[in-house]
Structure 1
Amino acid sequence: MALSSFSKLFFLAIFMLCSFITLASACDFSIVGYSPDDLTCINKLINLFESWIDKHGKKYKSLEEKLHRFEIFKDNLKHIDEKNKVNSNYWLGLNEFADLSHEEFKKIYLGLKADRLPQRDESLQEFKYRDFESLPKSVDWRKKGVVSRIKNQGSCGLMDYAFTYIVSKGGLHKEEDYPYLMEEGTCEENKDEAERVTISGYHDVPANDEQSLLKAHANQPLSVAIEASGRDFQFYSGGVFDGHCGSELDHGVAAVGYGSSKGLEYIIVKNSWGPKWGEKGFIRMKRNTGKPSGMCGINKMASFPTKTK
């Protein structure tokens, strides 16, 4: 129902007068998207919100919707600022998801369903890299030209069965020949098959075994799954993530490297939430946590494609 002129003025008054209390963070504010001065009064918060809207090209259907998103924005900013006061290894920022509640975000971006994944039978396969001994101290497959550009999956969050699909469809086309557009459409099933890249199958890395994961990872990028439902994941902007998370897998990603920084060992993970999220679309996740499943369950379900000659 449309708002009367009086109601609009009433909501605008609330918009201007509502309070937001927070303390300044000790973070690099050019990275996280706000400064301590932005948090000192409501007018500056409104200006921050308007600048954020312009930066990310947001559009709202009505004043009511804009007010609703502003309330969510304030709550998210409060969470970000409070976390940045205490976190030293990673930080959060006002990214393009700052007007989404955490429940909305999870519904849109977390689509992997653990109960729909195929059951592993590791007794049927011998781990290919079990005897691999020369483990490099660091690997970054991005520098070797084998990692594709960062994409934004939008509301398409189902990553399971990817390798099986590639085999059943006779391969995939190259990115430059058939680019991902992040929009609804019809697949061109009859596109020239000569240009397809094919695989023979896939191989599972032994579950809950970080050493096996690193051995496989030293040879190629890996498909992995993590639990990404923690609120900090929504706003991760940089650093080595060692925050709270469980191991109930809900998001498919790719491991594209590993290394260490300031004594913290990490795995480089390629996400699919666009290049404005995290470190240009990537996140460094702590490894060597002492938990068999690893940080956010990353050691539980790793696999890689295979190709017979």
Structure 2
Amino acid sequence: MNIRLSVLLFLIFFTITSCGFAISSRAKDFGYSSADLASEETLLNLFHSWAATNNKPYLNSPDTKSTKFEVFKDNLNHIVATNKRRKSHWLGLNAFADMAHDEFKRNYLGFNPKKNLLTSTDHTTSKIFMYENVTNLPKSIDWRRKGAVTPVKNQGGCGSCWAFSTVAAMEGINQVVTGNLTSLSEQELIDCDIEFDEGCSGGTMDYAFASVVAMGGLRTEQDYPYTMEEGSCQPAKGGEAKRVSINGYEDVPKNSEESLLKALAHQPVSIAIEGSDRDLQFYKGGVFEGPCGTELDHGVTAVGYGTTFDGRKYILVKNSWGPEWGEQGFIRMRRNTGNVEGLCGMYKMASYPTKTKPY
């Protein structure tokens, strides 16, 4: 057999086995197999295993267990059906698998459009965009690799995504300016930023940035830990606690992917999206392409951008639903879609904190 043909056959074999490995690895990530879907009994066994793994307290309550099983089964059917038709992203079982979608939306969103800065008359949005004249953007950037992103956190059943988005952007610019990555307190925002934002009932990142400036900065996560509920604003114990400050914030020009990339090339950016699509509840990996609308209801943080090996352009986003969701707590969202508002409306309302002093 000539050498050229041998090489060709090897490449074909390598491609087939590599693709097979990728498919089997993806199936393993889902946490179920075709055998689990064979009957009601095997589905129930899968549910029991999932519930035990996720420490669900209702396994000894027959009525609750029965109701949750029906929700679990419906969610699994959605996951299986979606994975058969989606090519760019896939879904999987996660800690939300026993939650009906309406229940999930009530508990895990929290961007409050009632007071957003597009319509507010008592707040003036930023008119300055410091990155307007930036050119020669890098092809990709990942602020995790630059040490500007703390581990993914979990907002739990509190609509505090706005606080997590605000804090992640602040943690990022603080690291960019000072070189120090410090985990900051979402709870202090929830408890103390009460003039315009509403704790677990929702809020807006720009108002939160303005509140941080008025408060003189935020305390650390260690000093003011997260409790997953609203509390009273706590004074510093034992004298003035260490705070991380910002000078202010700026808005990214609305509906401009180019402007968001310019800002992202320099720091993590708070963005709002419509997070209420069912696929997002169970997103496991890949470049998310929707479906989703542009009615903003969830605050997240853009921490990079890039292109996959097969040419899919994406924005890298840090979420606040725990590291078990998505790609270790992150999601890649398709960009360059032709929609000026961006996928899920992610270009409609983006902003970032500004900081010039190293304290």
TM-score strictly above 0.5: yes
Structure 2: how far apart are the matches of 1:184 and 1:295? 31
Which residue pairs with 1:51 in the alignment? Answer: 49
Map 1:290-305 to 2 at 5 A: 290-305=338-353
Does 1:65 pair with 2:67? no
Residues 268 and 48 of structure 1, relative CA distance in 2, 3 Å threshold = same
Residues 135 and 193 of structure 1, relative CA distance in 2, 3 Å threshold = farther
TM-score normalized by structure 1? 0.87
Q: 2:30 aligns with which of 17, 27, 32?
A: 32
Which sections of structure 2, spanning at least 5 residues, go unmatched? 1-22, 163-203
Which residue pairs with 1:156 in the alignment? Answer: 158
Structure 2: how far apart are the matches of 1:93 and 1:294? 25
Which residue pairs with 1:232 in the alignment? Answer: 279
Partner SS for 1:52: helix
Residues 256 and 123 of structure 1, relative CA distance in 2, 3 Å threshold = closer
Which residue pairs with 1:77 in the alignment? Answer: 76
Query: Post-superposition shift, 1:180?
Result: 2.9
CA contact (8 A) 1:122 1:206 kept: no
Residues 124 and 176 of structure 1, relative CA distance in 2, 3 Å threshold = closer
Structure 1: how far apart are the matches of 2:260 and 2:341? 11
Query: Post-superposition shift, 1:145?
Result: 1.3
Residues 133 and 38 of structure 1, relative CA distance in 2, 3 Å threshold = same
Residues 212 and 45 of structure 1, relative CA distance in 2, 3 Å threshold = same
Does 1:175 pair with 2:177? no
Partner SS for 1:254: strand
Q: Which consecutive segments of 4 or more residues in structure 1 shift more than 4 A?
A: 120-124, 183-187
Partner SS for 1:84: helix
Which residue pairs with 2:197 in the alignment? Answer: none
Query: Post-superposition shift, 1:288?
Result: 0.5
Map 1:178-193 to 2 at 5 A: 178-182=224-228, 185-191=231-237, 192-193=239-240
CA contact (8 A) 2:300 2:320 kept: yes
2:346 corresponds to which letter in structure 1? I
Map 1:107-256 to 2 at 5 A: 107-119=106-118, 125-158=127-160, 159=162, 160=204, 161-182=207-228, 185-191=231-237, 192-193=239-240, 195-256=242-303
Query: Post-superposition shift, 1:266?
Result: 0.5
Q: How many residues align?
A: 284
Residues 165 and 44 of structure 1, relative CA distance in 2, 3 Å threshold = same
Structure 1: how far apart are the matches of 2:151 and 2:223? 14
Structure 1: how far apart are the matches of 2:214 and 2:158? 20
RMSD: 1.9
Partner SS for 1:202: strand
Which residue pairs with 2:10 in the alignment? Answer: none
CA contact (8 A) 1:112 1:251 kept: yes
Of 165-174 and 49-58, more deviation after overlay is shown by: 165-174
Does 1:99 pair with 2:98? yes
Partner SS for 1:144: coil
CA contact (8 A) 2:157 2:228 kept: no
Query: Post-superposition shift, 1:200?
Result: 1.3
Structure 1: how far apart are the matches of 2:124 and 2:140? 28
- Give per-residue Cα distances to partners, 1:24-80, cap 9 Å, x unaligned: xx7722111211111011111111001101111111172111100000000000000
CA contact (8 A) 2:108 2:156 kept: yes
1:55 corresponds to which letter in structure 2? T
Q: 1:265 aligns with which of 310, 313, 322?
A: 313
Q: 2:322 aligns with which of 274, 298, 302?
A: 274
Which sections of structure 1, spanning at least 5 residues, go unmatched? 1-25
Name the structure with the higher helix share: 2
Does 1:41 pair with 2:89? no
Which residue pairs with 2:15 in the alignment? Answer: none
Structure 2: how far apart are the matches of 1:154 and 1:123? 30
Structure 2: how far apart are the matches of 1:183 and 1:110? 14
